[in-house]
Structure 1
Amino acid sequence: MTATNDAAELELTILMPCLNEAETLEVCIRKAQGFLERSGIAGEVLISDNGSTDGSQQIAQRLGARVSHAPRRGYGAALINGIENAHGRYIIMGDADDSYDFENLQPFVDRLRDGADLVMGNRFRGGIAPGAMPPLHKYLGNPVLSGIGQLFFRPNIGDFHCGLRGFNRDRIRDLDLQTTGMEFASEMVVKSTLARPKYRIEEVPTTLKKDGRSRPPHLRSWHDGWRHLRFLLIFAPRWLFVYPGLVAFFLGAIAVGILSFGGVQIGGIGFDVTTMVYASALCVIGYQSLLFFWLTKLYATQEAFLPTSPQYRSIVSSWTAERGLLIGLALFVVGVGIGVAQVIRWGSLDFGPQDAAEVVRIAIPSALGMMLGFQTIMMSFFSGVLTTPRREQRPDAVIES
Structure 2
Amino acid sequence: MTAQVYRYIEEPELTILIPCLNEAETIERCVEKAKLCLLRLGVHGEVLVADNGSTDGSQDLAIAKGARVVHVPDRGYGAALRHGIHTARGRYVIMGDGDDSYDFSNLDPFLAKLRDGFDLVMGNRFKGGIAQGAMPLLHRYLGNPVLSFFGRLFFKIDLGDFHCGLRGFNRERMCDLELYTTGMEFASEMVISAALKSYRICEVPTTLKKDGRSRPPHLRTWHDGWRHLSFLLMFSPRWLFVYPGLALILLGVVTAVILFPGPVSLANGVNLDVHTFLVAAIAVLIGVQTLTFGLIAQRFAIKYRLLPPDAAGSRGLSFLTFDRGLLVAAALILLGLFGIGWSLFTWASVDFGPLRYPSVMRVLILSLTSIAIGVQLGFTVFLSGIMNIPNKRDRIRAAVENALLRSGHHRR
Give the secondary-structure state (helix, strand or coil) at the position aligned to 1:166.
strand
Match of 1:208 in 2: 208
The letter for the 2-side match of 1:224 is D
Corresponding residue number in structure 2 for 1:189 = 191
CA contact 2:295–2:316 (8 Å) conserved in 1: no
Q: CA deviation at 1:64?
A: 1.9
**Residue aligning to 1:347:** 348
For residues 16-72 of structure 1, the C-alpha deviation after alignment (integer angstroms, 9 at most, x for no partner) is 000011110001000000001111101000000101111111112222211111121
Q: Secondary structure at the match of 1:21?
A: coil
Structure 1: segments with no counterpart, 5+ residues: 396-401
What residue ranges of structure 2 are gaps of 5+ in the alignment? 397-412
C-alpha distance after superposition, 1:240-274 (max 9, x if no partner): 11111111111112222332222222335322101
TM superposition outliers: structure 1 runs of 4+ over 4 Å: 3-8
1:256–1:279 contact (8 Å) kept in structure 2:
yes
Distance 1:100 1:329 in 2: 61
Q: Which moved more, 1:310-319 or 1:278-287?
A: 310-319
Equivalent position of 1:398 in the other structure: none
1:363-378 equivalences under 5 Å are 363-378=364-379
CA distance in 2, matches of 1:300, 1:367: 32
Number of residues of Structure 1 aligned to a counterpart in Structure 2: 391
- Which residue in the other structure is 1:25 paired with? 27
Secondary structure class of the residue paired with 1:351: coil
Using the alignment, how far apart are the partners of 1:61 and 1:104 within structure 2? 22
Selected match of 1:148 from 141, 150, 154: 150
Equivalent positions of 1:189-338 (< 5 A) are: 189-195=191-197, 198-267=198-267, 268-317=269-318, 319-338=320-339
TM-score (norm 1): 0.93
Give the partner amino acid of 1:333.
Answer: L
- Contact 2:242 2:295 survives alignment (8 Å): no
Shift of 1:7: 5.7
**AA at the equivalent of 1:123:** R
Name the SS for the 2:392 alignment partner.
Answer: coil
Are 1:110 and 2:112 counterparts?
yes
Provide Cα deviations, 1:264-315, integer angstroms capped at 9, x if missing partner: 2233532210111111111111111101101111222222122212444455
Amino acid corresponding to residue 175 of structure 1 in structure 2: L
For residues 307 and 144 of structure 1, do their structure 2 counterparts lie closer, same or farther at Cα, with a shift above 3 Å needed? same
CA contact (8 A) 1:99 1:209 kept: yes
Contact in 1 for aligned 2:237/2:294 (Cα 8 Å): yes
Q: SS where residue 15 of structure 1 aligns? A: strand
Q: Deviations over 1:325-367 (max 9, x none)?
A: 1111111110111111111222333433312734322211111
Given candidates 46, 49, 54, the residue that maps to 2:48 is 46
Matched AA of 2:201: I
Which structure features the higher share of helix residues?
Answer: 2
Paired residue secondary structure (2:47): strand
3-state DSSP of counterpart to 2:393: coil
Whether the 8 Å CA contact 1:252–1:282 is kept in 2: the answer is yes
What is the Cα deviation at residue 394 of structure 1? 8.9
The question of whether the paired residues in 2 share the 8 Å contact of 1:132 and 1:209 is answered with yes
Amino acid at match of 1:286: G
> Contact 2:298/2:313 (CA < 8 Å) preserved in 1?
no
Is 2:18–2:97's contact at 8 Å kept on the other side of the alignment? yes
Give the Cα–Cα distance (whole angstroms) in 2 for the partners of residues 244 and 106 of structure 1.
44
Gap change, CA 1:315 and 1:370, over 3 Å in 2: closer
Partner of residue 172, structure 1: 174
DSSP 3-state at the match of 1:392 = helix
Q: Percent identity?
A: 56
Note the C-alpha offset of 1:155. 1.3
